[in-house]
Amino acid sequence: MTTMAELNIITVSQALKMEYLSATMDTPPSTLVVKSLPIIDISAFLNPSSTFQARQDIAATIDRACADYGFFYLTGHGIPTSRLDEIISLARQFFSLPLSEKNKIKRYDAGGPEGGDGARGYQGMGENITLGRRDHQEAIDIYREWDHSPKEAGQGGPSTHKTLQGPNLWPTEPQEFKSVYLDYIEQCKKIGEALVRAMGVALNLGPAAPDADQNTENEEVFVRNTDRSFWVMRMIGYPKLQTPLVEGEDITEFSCGEHTDYGCVTLLLADSTPGALQVLLKDGKTWLNADPIPGAFVVNIGDMIERWTNGKWKSTRHRVIHRGDGYRVSVPFFYEPNFSAMVKPLRKCVESTGGMPVHEGNTYGEHLLGKVFNNFYN
């Protein structure tokens, strides 16, 4: 039998089996015991009549999942599996169109040193860059509409954010694409809100107060700072990677290179392809395959939650290597802070993590712009 220490990449079902084996063995193995990602039912935070205790129980499991993995499966979100299947199917239909059709919604040139650096619309195969390498993927990004109200525009002025402005470019094929996605985005926003609400409870930040402002540190601090969430819906198409892997040599081709997500929480919906999304465990060397569970989202926390919690919860590194069968489709929804939200470590979290803040703080918009530009010119 392969020992767990020899295993580099394991699947959730393998991990479950290992956990089962180690639980039934008389003496536990001395090697690393890898658990599977936890499964969390969020319904208590979506249902207004749920009990205080039900919410506390869920919050406690969220705290453990965020501290141990930064990733978990999410159920109880209320979106029927048939709707999730439709979302994947519509994205798949779009990617199967001829390139000339897809290029009708190609992202605009926002005026950067290279063309096509707007952030909204279709991005062709290999155009997205991670860690200086081309990702083997094509995608569409839909962002929250740019808000020109003085409150939002006042932060830095919209003219400095050309990349993120402009209208969303929606596919007109399949015809129902836009209406189905608009409806799905509204549902995802509610789930994102429930999740950050639960996270405030999980961190024990103290009860909400009616006179609280954006910066008041209580359990609703994430809810207030996401009330105009600068969310992103990204539909991604991944062809199977072609170059053969050479035993003992580094992996050089990625469907999506190793990265962390930028904001608060990602709700990842993916088709049934196994072995593609890999999550780095706390040991810093074991990659866990986060294979899809039908009807569940894979959720992970982003950089802004790591910063707010002063590193108590980390935005976990992950990557995609698709060498399985078929053309893989995934649709992550990124629920993020308001563009103008000032994000700096929460006092209570600084105290509980040794007293040194990990960051001096800046706005989510500044953090996002730095990341988005890396996707082009890195």
Ligand X SMILES: N=C(N)NCCCC[C@H](N)C(=O)O
Summarize as ranges the residues that interact with Fe ion (CB under 5 A): 261
Residue 325: both structure tokens together: 């069968």
Residue 336 Cβ, how far from ligand AKG at the closest point, in Å? Answer: 12
With CB under 5 to 8 Å by kind, the binding choice for 320 among Fe ion, ligand AKG, ligand X, none is: ligand AKG
| Residue 261 in contact with ligand X, rule: CB under 6 A | yes
Q: Which is nearer to ligand X, 261 or 271 (CB)?
A: 261
CA distance 136 to 256: 7
- Which residues between 324 and 353 bind ligand X (CB under 6 A)? 334
Alpha-carbon span 165 to 120, nearest angstrom: 8
- Please give the DSSP secondary-structure letter assigned to residue 338: B
**Which 207-246 positions form the footprint of ligand X (CB under 6 A)?**
232
Residue 224 or 322 with smaller CB distance to ligand AKG = 322
With respect to ligand X, which residue has the nearer C-beta, 240 or 317?
317
Give the shortest CB-58-to-ligand AKG separation in angstroms. 24
With CB under 6 A as the rule, give the number of residues binding ligand X. 11
Q: Which one of ligand AKG, Fe ion, ligand X, none is in contact with 277 (Cβ closer than 5 to 8 A by kind)?
A: ligand AKG
Tell which one of 94, 262, 333, 376 touches ligand X (CB under 6 A): 262
**SS3 for 123?**
strand
What is the smallest separation between the CB atom of 318 and Fe ion, expressed in angstroms? Answer: 6
Q: Which residues bind ligand AKG (CB under 6 A)?
A: 234, 236, 256, 261, 268, 270, 277, 318, 320, 330, 332
How many angstroms from the chain centroid is the CA of residue 353?
24
Phi and psi, residue 268, nearest 5°: -95, 125
CA distance 336 to 315: 13
Q: Which value, to the nearest 10 degrees, does the dihedral of the CA atoms of residues 11, 14, 18, 20 take?
A: 120
Strand-strand pairing, 318-320 and 256-259: antiparallel
Task: Pick one of ligand X, ligand AKG, Fe ion, none as the site partner of residue 375 (Cβ within 5 to 8 A by kind).
Answer: ligand X
Rounded Cα distance between 282 and 286, Å, is 8
Long-range Cβ pairs for the range 342-346 (8 Å, 24+):
342/214, 342/215, 343/225, 343/304, 343/307, 343/308, 343/367, 344/307, 344/308, 345/307, 345/308, 345/309, 345/310, 346/203, 346/205, 346/217, 346/221, 346/308, 346/309, 346/310
Binding-site string for ligand X from residue 124 to residue 163, where x marks contact by CB under 6 A and - marks none: ----x-x---------------------------------
Please provide the distance, in angstroms rounded to a whole number, between the alpha carbons at the two ends of the chain. 43
Q: Cβ of residue 138: shortest distance to ligand X, in angstroms? A: 13
Residue 236 binding: pick among ligand AKG, ligand X, Fe ion, none (C-beta 5-8 Å cut-off by kind): ligand AKG
Minimum distance from residue 318 beta carbon to ligand AKG (Å): 5
Residues lying near ligand X in the complex (CB under 6 A): 128, 130, 232, 256, 259, 261-262, 334, 371, 374-375
